Structure 1
Amino acid sequence: MSLVVSEDALNKLQALMDQVEEESLLRTFQNVHQGCVTETLMRFLKAREWNVTKAHKMIIDCLNWRVQNEIDNILSKPIIPTDFYRGIRDSQLIGLSGYSREGLPVFAIGVGLSSFDKASVHYYVQSHIQINEYRDRVILPSASKKHGQPITTCVKVLDMTGLKLSALNQIKLLTIISSIDDLNYPEKTNTYYIVNVPYIFSACWKVVKPLLQERTRRKVQVLPGCGRDELLKIMDYASLPHFCRREGSGSSRHSENGNGNGNENCYSLDHPFHQKLYNHIKEESRIQEPVEPIKQGSFHVDFPEPPAEKAEIVKTLESELHKFKISNGTCD
């Protein structure tokens, strides 16, 4: 992509956005760009292969989705009671383990050990969007300020420890979550590092990889073992997710959570990241509705239809995993 072409596309998209007059869309757009308008427009352009018309439609669709689903208020909707939220944190494994040397937040995700079995789909979607919004409205602006330059993306380390054939049961929920990200939080991840890879992942990756867009493929790096040595090239030891700390350390949420070592395990509700996030949401809810008691119940968000590319990937994955089931003669 030549500089001239991208500059031209950017100017055209900016001109189209300058024509938006609807107050609600302009207000939510501020929550999206957080002062980094150029970087935000570039993300949407990249996601639509530099097609200005498609990028503009994507932004407007995203802003409408935000307004219709009151996404701007989601950080004032705590999931309560705390024990119930702890169950969500123990079954939807994600956390902030630190920062890369360039200042990018490092998110750790326990793909293989996330069971998603403690709450309804709506709670998991709500929790996922809250982490996205907290990242975009609190973590990234604070990292930008610290480094004196716009930091608008993050790094994700995906731990495949414990990945089983029963992952098939979670494909629907994972598709909803990743479709929300594709359509409304495009190009927020700089690189996906995949670690602790079992055979089942390698086999599925071979089939899925050719279906991914070149842009996405380039972002995925499958690392040997727990990925420690490779990751230490871009971050300090203190920022490594706990499952990358030593070869063969695995990622047992039970041993980590159960020994009072919550500060090490960035998935745990006791980890400083989750404590700050949860306190932030509770504080926001007090500001918004100081008199009303906090209501229990999930914050419902409309689920998008998965994009065609994603639907094809899911179909391929399902058929691949079914083949495994048949050849192994087992359900797990």
Structure 2
Amino acid sequence: MSTDLKKSPSNGYEKTLTSEEQQQKINEIRRLVEPLPDKLSIYCSDASISRHLRARNWNVKKATKMLKETLKWRLEYKPEEIRWEEVAHEAETGKIYRSNYVDKYGRTVLVMRPSCQNSKSIKGQIRYLVYCMENAILNLPPNQEQMVWLIDFHGFNLSHISVKVTRETAHVLQDHYPERLGMAILYNPPKFFEPFWTVVKPFLEPKTYRKVKFVYSDDLITKKIMEDLFDMEQIESAFGGNDNSGFDINKYAERMREDDKRMPSFWTRGNTLSEDPQPALTSATCLNPANLDSDSNASDKEKAVNSSSNEVDSEVSPDDNLLVNNGSKDGTGDVH
């Protein structure tokens, strides 16, 4: 069957492949990154590889390079091992938290309040953000793989702008959490945020910044974005909803501690439910860092043209802790 090419405003043409062609590319990438230890094989399920391929416009060489870099990062950073007690101090002000509701598509919602930044440590801020991403993924329903960010600009001023944090945030989210963002709602951003957004956009992939929606409480047209996406009875009053309960760090800490207990079994479940049959991996099977470093499927020539088709549908919208997300996809029960 032939491959159809669709015109795209971002890169001219966007590949649309048949299911058979997609599966062939998925299988090819799996062969290129194996063998893997059990703990990393979960990231080579069909759904996970598919996200990396979509992020790289179905280019096998670029997607393989991206996946290898993510596997190496996960091996070294160990994001799934971060626990609440390690990052609780970053969460005290409610600058990022997982809401107790989902949107109308069942997507996890992360609320972000950049004006509540309480840390000068970029390392600490990014580590807490990664914890929140892992927790959001943990709480995704089986038929959903993306999340929504609700970003509240109340109290936001120039002192809360950090290009360095934004750049590092964009790097982690786009490179290591591709296709996880469904939509990012920027709620009541001040006028001075617009030039900052102009500076930040080059850090983001075209697919990513197209997921960012500006919503203003005094604009009926943009307010409809919220109403179409959420049950307003459940939404915080800060976003025009009817929930006035506010953020309670003690109650939130209880939720996170319970989620932490689920993480190890979640990983086991993910390995067990992985739809892709993996070869038997023994304790002697180990990830070869040299192999991860090698760009076995990405030539220098391809790197040079990377910007033309390098569409990462990741999750980011800028600011001290700003990010973005949209739509649902395959319901494979994949963890990452």
Shift of 1:9: 4.7
Query: Over aligned residues, Cα RMSD in angstroms?
Result: 3.5
**Which of 273, 277, 280 does residue 256 from structure 2 map onto?**
277
Partner of 1:78: 85
Q: Tell me the alpha carbon deviations over residues 80-106 of structure 1, each in whole angstroms, 9 at most, x when there is no partner.
A: 7xxxx2553316333325111111112
Matched length: 253
On the 8 A contact 1:99/1:105 being kept in 2, the answer is: yes
**Which of 100, 105, 120 does residue 103 from structure 2 map onto?**
100
- Return the letter of the residue paired with 1:129: V
- Return the letter of the residue paired with 1:53: K
Partner of 1:199: 191
Instruction: Using CA pairs under 8 Å that are at least 6 residues apart, name the structure with larger relative contact order, 1 or 2.
Output: 2
- Give me the whole-angstrom Cα distance separating, in 1, the residues matched to 2:262 and 2:215: 40
Paired residues for 1:183-198 under 5 Å: 183-198=175-190
- Give me the whole-angstrom Cα distance separating, in 1, the residues matched to 2:90 and 2:208: 32
Q: Residues 23 and 98 of structure 1: is their aligned pair in 2 closer, same or farther, counting only changes over 3 Å?
A: same
Q: Residues 2 and 173 of structure 1: is their aligned pair in 2 closer, same or farther, counting only changes over 3 Å?
A: closer
- Return the letter of the residue paired with 1:281: D
Answering whether residue 235 of structure 2 is matched by residue 240 of structure 1, we say yes
On the 8 A contact 2:56/2:63 being kept in 1, the answer is: yes
On the 8 A contact 1:45/1:55 being kept in 2, the answer is: yes
Partner of 1:139: 139
Shift of 1:205: 3.1
SS at match of 2:250: coil
Paired residues for 1:96-245 under 5 Å: 96-111=99-114, 113-117=115-119, 120-136=121-137, 138-140=138-140, 143-144=141-142, 150-168=143-161, 170-206=162-198, 208-209=200-201, 212-225=204-217, 228-245=223-240
Q: Residues 10 and 159 of structure 1: is their aligned pair in 2 closer, same or farther, counting only changes over 3 Å?
A: farther
- Return the letter of the residue paired with 1:78: E
On the 8 A contact 2:94/2:113 being kept in 1, the answer is: no
Bigger Cα displacement from structure 2, 191-200 vs 224-233: 224-233
Answering whether residue 59 of structure 2 is matched by residue 46 of structure 1, we say no
**Which of 224, 233, 246 does residue 265 from structure 1 map onto?**
246
Partner of 1:28: 40
- Give me the whole-angstrom Cα distance separating, in 2, the residues matched to 1:61 and 1:179: 12
- Return the letter of the residue paired with 2:232: Y
**More helix per residue:** 1
- Give me the whole-angstrom Cα distance separating, in 2, the residues matched to 1:89 and 1:10: 44
- Give me the whole-angstrom Cα distance separating, in 1, the residues matched to 2:168 and 2:95: 14
- Return the letter of the residue paired with 1:139: N
SS at match of 1:270: helix
On the 8 A contact 2:167/2:203 being kept in 1, the answer is: no
- Give me the whole-angstrom Cα distance separating, in 2, the residues matched to 1:208 and 1:120: 20
Q: Residues 72 and 124 of structure 1: is their aligned pair in 2 closer, same or farther, counting only changes over 3 Å?
A: same
SS at match of 2:182: strand
On the 8 A contact 2:108/2:148 being kept in 1, the answer is: yes
On the 8 A contact 1:91/1:116 being kept in 2, the answer is: no
Q: Tell me the alpha carbon deviations over residues 241-275 of structure 1, each in whole angstroms, 9 at most, x when there is no partner.
A: 441125xx9xxxxxx9xxxx7xx335x42345x53
Shift of 1:236: 0.7
- Give me the whole-angstrom Cα distance separating, in 1, the residues matched to 2:174 and 2:69: 12
Paired residues for 1:46-65 under 5 Å: 46-65=54-73
Q: Tell me the alpha carbon deviations over residues 153-204 of structure 1, each in whole angstroms, 9 at most, x when there is no partner.
A: 0111122222222134x33233223311111111201111111121111333
SS at match of 1:59: helix
- Give me the whole-angstrom Cα distance separating, in 2, the residues matched to 1:39 and 1:239: 31
On the 8 A contact 2:33/2:68 being kept in 1, the answer is: no
SS at match of 1:232: helix
Partner of 2:291: none
Structure 2 unaligned regions, length at least 5: 1-13, 265-305, 311-317, 320-336
SS at match of 2:86: coil
Partner of 2:282: none
- Give me the whole-angstrom Cα distance separating, in 1, the residues matched to 2:204 and 2:74: 27
On the 8 A contact 1:97/1:107 being kept in 2, the answer is: no
Report the TM-score, using the length of structure 1 for normalisation.
0.64
Shift of 1:110: 1.1
Paired residues for 1:304-315 under 5 Å: none
Structure 1 unaligned regions, length at least 5: 145-149, 250-255, 286-306, 310-316, 319-332
SS at match of 1:90: coil
- Give me the whole-angstrom Cα distance separating, in 2, the residues matched to 1:211 and 1:6: 32
